[in-house]
Every structure is written in structure tokens, then in C-alpha cells.
Amino acid sequence: MRSRNFRSLASLIGLGIGLGLLAGAATDATAQDKKVLRMVPHSGLRITDPIITTAFISRNHGYMIYDTLFAVDDKLQVKPQMVDSFKLSDDKLTYTFTLRDGLKFHNGAPVTPDDVIPSIKRWGERDTMGQKLMTFIKEMKAVDAKTFQIVLKEPYGLVIDSLGKPSSNPCFIMPKAMAETPSSKNVPDEIGSGPFRMVKSEFQPGVKVVYEKNPDYKPRSEAPSSLSGGKVVKVDRVEWITMSDAQTATNALIKGEVDMIEQASYDLLPELKKSKEVVIKDLQPLGMNYMLRMNWLQPPLDNVKVRQAILHAVSQEDYLAAQVGNPEFYSVCGAMFGCKTPLKTEVGAAGTKKADLATAKKLLKESGYKGEKIVIMAPTDINSINQLPLVSAPLLRSIGMNIDLQSMDWQTLVGRRAKPDPIDQGGWHIFHTAWGTADMMNPVVNAGIKGLGKEGGWFGWTEDAQIEKMRDDYAREADPAKQKAIAEAIQKRAYELVMYVPLGEYIQPSAVRTNVAGLLPSPALALWNVEKK
């Protein structure tokens, strides 16, 4: 008996010591280091080249380690960033740019026009706005160690806007050796001149990426504003820790193991709001947009009346309620260039904002539609868009369409949507996706309204010479008022032809610990100016 009591007592003491150690160690582990910012990004970083891909996560990585010649402020005005000053010749054909003093790459080498020019060329091969700019450029040449020129074939209104475009793909400046990599291949290194340096030894693709403050970075003197101004880094280290499970990320934020979640899950916001140490923030002033995209090569969608029938069947509210749920985070928006941008216009948008099933049925009848199968590709694994096809399918059935809703993972969808083949050979009719407003805020960047068909158009291969002419007119125009008028005409035409169906605007809120300050609302993630108090 005595022996048993002793063992019980010893067990209890052991348990107590164990729990004490557990508690003590856990406290140590969760003690926040004020100089380390830990963030759960919206997806895992795998591709470190922000030019080869349009993925937002790679773009955000780009803003950490690279810098841009120009950048937008919080009013979407383009401001010099790496550029100190620039001037345009009287004939409006030659831009002369002078770089700021003290620009250095992470390997210590100075940034020179020899780096800038191939960086612009590589970006110009990949980016929509860059491609357009390159068609106007006659030559680019270095003048001296800090000065370079862009000489145009004819006046072009979007030179500065292009070089300062905020989203995929921004014109990031890389060292010459990296910038000379073919644009179809990943750059071999991660050397930029931006405010952070990537800690390559700690990079685990899809899991974790670590950045440290770049001690050689010389911020501009202006106050930070969106992606422009003084990029003053106030932490020593930033860790992006990927968490594929939203509940785990939420738990980690509430417990203080991470400082912010870049994009919090809508259904977990109530739980996050309960925590006194977490605040919900809107860091994306421009928001995102859903779209329904049709394949113009596939009958019957080659018939404009069928496309117009679909346009009139749609009610944005249905899609937004199904996908986002909380009206606090979405709004009906018919503007193809975004509802919070200078080119906002509702011209031609009436059809998409409120369903008019009678008109839709009438148009479908007039089209001569004979019940052909319409294939809608439905991605099941992307939570941010997976409800959209489920709204479209019954809606289009209700106007008499024969819908074949095909479920698949997103990667199957992106592979399949590149096929212009007939339906019986793996083709498709409709898919849904989401775009950052920054990537559609003018007629040059907005891939959805390209009219190039199979010769350079986006998936769906919309083709219209008139739209293309107007896009060129917009690009040549330097007067903002005239640009806006052209953009309105483009939108009107795009709606008439139904180049795509906008399904509304939404924001993806961030969740942040209350001790994190200085986050800058911007079209891409900006982590300079952020501090932990």
C-alpha cells in the first residue's frame, strides 16, 4: 500500500513538473519578437520570378526584393520611385530618365541603365501593357551611369503609366545578368535592389520564405503612399508562413503565433472578430472582380445573341451573395475598369447588374439556339471562385440552355482553357475567374477586352478590330479626359459584344494583430513602413 501511494505521489509530482515545463516553454515560444513580422500569405510562394508569372504571390514577392522605376500612390497617380527625375522632349518622342543616387543591388553592385534596359525588355515581352509599350519603342539606350533614354517611334501616352503599373506584371528592375534570362525561363537568382533581401537559405517553396531588411536601401524622402514614396523598413525580418488550412491560420493568429493573415477566410471572420487582439482591415483599396468568360470560338457562343442572352440572365447580387456572402465585403459593379478607378463608368452595364430573364429568353430564341450543350468548367478546389459556376448553371438552365457543368480542379481548368479545340476534343464554353482591379483598370491592361482573337487574345479568344483600334487610340492619348471618353466607348462596345460578363466587385479582408501598425493599403502587398508595437 505504501509503495503504491508513493508511486501515485511521484506520478503527480512528475505530471506537475511536466505541465509546468510545458507552460513555461510555451510562453517562451509565443513571446513576440517585435522585430520579426510573421504573415500568412494568400498562397505559397513557389515561383520567385515575378515576370515569368502573373501570380499575385510572385508579384508580392517582387515588391519585397525588387524596386520599380515608377510606382502608384494611394490616388493611383504614378510617381517616380527608382527614378529621380525624367523629361520628355518637345517632339514627345524621347524620354530621358535619371536614376536616384545610391541605388544598389543586394550583391552590392550599383543599379545602372545597363540593368534597367534589359529589365524593361524582359518585362515588355511578358506583360500586356509592356507588350503594347514595346510596339511604340524605337530604342532604349544608356546615356551615362545614371541616365537612360527611351526613344519612341511615335508619341505614346502610357510610357510612365506602363513603367509604374502596380500589378501583374510590374516592371521590376533586376541585375543585367538576371534580366537577360529569356522571359520563358525562370531567373536563376533572387537579387534585387528593393527594401528587403530574400534569405535564400531559409526558402522552402510553398512553405516559408524569409526576408530581411536591406541595410543598403535608400528610401525616398517622401512619405510612403501605396507603392510609392519612402519605403522605410521598420522590422528586421519578415516571414511568410504558408498555411493551407484557413482554420489553422485563424488559430495561429488568435494565439499570436503569426501577426497577420493577408487574406482571411470570410467564414472565419466572425471568429477573428471575437478576439480583442485582432482587427480586420481592408488593405486592397481597389478590390477584386469576378468574371464569367465565354469562348467565342465555340458554337453557339460565337453568336452574339447567345452571349447577350447570358449577359441578361445574370444578376451580380446572386453571385456575390453565393461566393462572398457578407455584403460588407462586396458590391455590385458594372464598370469593366473597376468601380474605384479613374475610368469608372457604368456605360452599357445595365444587363449584368440585374437579371432580366424575359429579355434573355427572347434573345436566346432570336439567336436560333437549338439546345446545343454548353460546357461550364467548375473548379472545386479554389474557395474564392468555386461557387460562381454553381450559380451560372441553374441560371442558364432557367432560360433554356443545355448546361453541362463539369467539375475539375483549377489546374485542370487552366490547362484545358488554353485549348481552342471543339467540345468533343476537350474544348469548353464558359469558365469563371477573379481579377485584381489593378489588373483591369484600363483598356490596355484589361485582358478581358482584348480583341486579338487567336493572335494574342486571352482565353476565350474575343476578336474585334474596332475594340483593338480604340485600345490603340487610348494608348496613344495623353489627355486623361480624352482617355476616359475612349475607355467609355470601349466598355460600351465590349458590353455590346459581351466580351465577358462582370460579376461584381469584392474585397478580401486582412486580419491583423492589434500591435501591428503602418500597413499601407495598396494594389499589391506592401510590408515596408510596418512595425510591431
- What are the residues binding other proteins (CB under 8 A)? 19, 21-23, 25-27, 29-30, 44, 46-48, 52-55, 58, 126, 128, 168, 182-186, 188, 204-208, 241, 243-245, 247-248, 251-252, 254-255, 257, 381, 408-412, 414-416, 418, 420, 426, 433, 435, 439, 447, 454, 456-459
Give least dist CB 245 to other proteins, A. Answer: 5
In the complex with other proteins, which residue's Cβ is closer, 142 or 408? 408
CB nearer other proteins, residue 114 or residue 257: 257
Instruction: Give least dist CB 44 to other proteins, A.
Output: 7
Give dist(CA 219, CA 435) in Å, integer.
31
- CB-based contacts of 195, cutoff 8 Å, min separation 6: 64, 67, 213, 214, 217, 219, 231, 232, 233, 528
Closest by CA position to 512, among listed 238, 248, 329, 275: 275
DSSP assignment of 112-169: -HHHHHHHHHHHHHH-HHHHHHHHHEEEEEE-SSSEEEEEESS--TTHHHHHT--SSS
Q: Measured between alpha carbons, how far is 450 from 452 in angstroms, rounded to an integer?
A: 6
CB of 144 to other proteins, least distance (A): 34
Residue 463: DSSP 8-state:
B
Q: How far is the CB of 460 from other proteins (least distance, A)?
A: 10
Judged by beta carbon, residue 257 or residue 531, the one nearer other proteins is 257
CB of 202 to other proteins, least distance (A): 10
- How far is Cα 528 from Cα 533, in angstroms, rounded to an integer? 15
Phi, psi (deg, nearest 5) at residue 310: -65, -45
Which C-beta is closer to other proteins: that of 103 or that of 291?
Answer: 291
**Whole-number minimum distance, CB 305 to other proteins, in Å?**
27
Q: Residue 60 — φ and ψ, nearest 5°?
A: -65, -40
Strands (E), 163-320: 196-198, 208-213, 237-241, 260-261, 278-281, 288-294
Q: Minimal distance in Å, beta carbon 447 to other proteins?
A: 6
User: Which lies closer to other proteins via its Cβ, residue 85 or residue 411?
Assistant: 411
Nearer to other proteins, 204 or 466 (CB): 204
Taking the complex as a whole, how short is the minimal distance between the CB of residue 203 and other proteins, in angstroms? Answer: 8
**Is the backbone of residue 22 left (phi > 0), alpha (psi -120 to 50) or beta?**
alpha
Name which of 238, 180, 187, 219 is nearest 53 in CA terms.
187
Distance in Å, CB of 205 to other proteins, minimum: 4
In the bound state with other proteins, the residue whose beta carbon lies nearer, of 182 and 480, is 182
CB of residue 372 to other proteins, shortest distance in Å: 23
**Which contacts (CB < 8 Å, 24+ apart) does range 180-185 have?**
180/118, 180/122, 181/122, 183/51, 183/52, 183/122, 183/125, 183/126, 184/52, 185/52
CB closer to other proteins out of 257 and 496 = 257
Of 95, 102, 72, 98, nearest to 85 (Cα)? 98
Nearer to other proteins by Cβ, of 276 and 370: the residue is: 276
- Cell numbers of 13, please? 509530482
Tell the smallest beta-carbon distance from residue 413 to other proteins (Å). 9
Torsion angles phi and psi, residue 106, rounded to 5: -65, -20
Nearer to other proteins, 254 or 310 (CB): 254
| Rounded-to-5 percentages of helix, strand, coil across the chain | 35, 20, 45
* Rounded distance between C-alpha atoms, residue 391 and residue 340, angstroms: 26
State how far the Cα of 232 lies from the Cα of 217, in Å rounded to an integer: 9
Residue 450 vs 532, nearer CB to other proteins: 450
Distance CA 178, CA 123 (A): 12
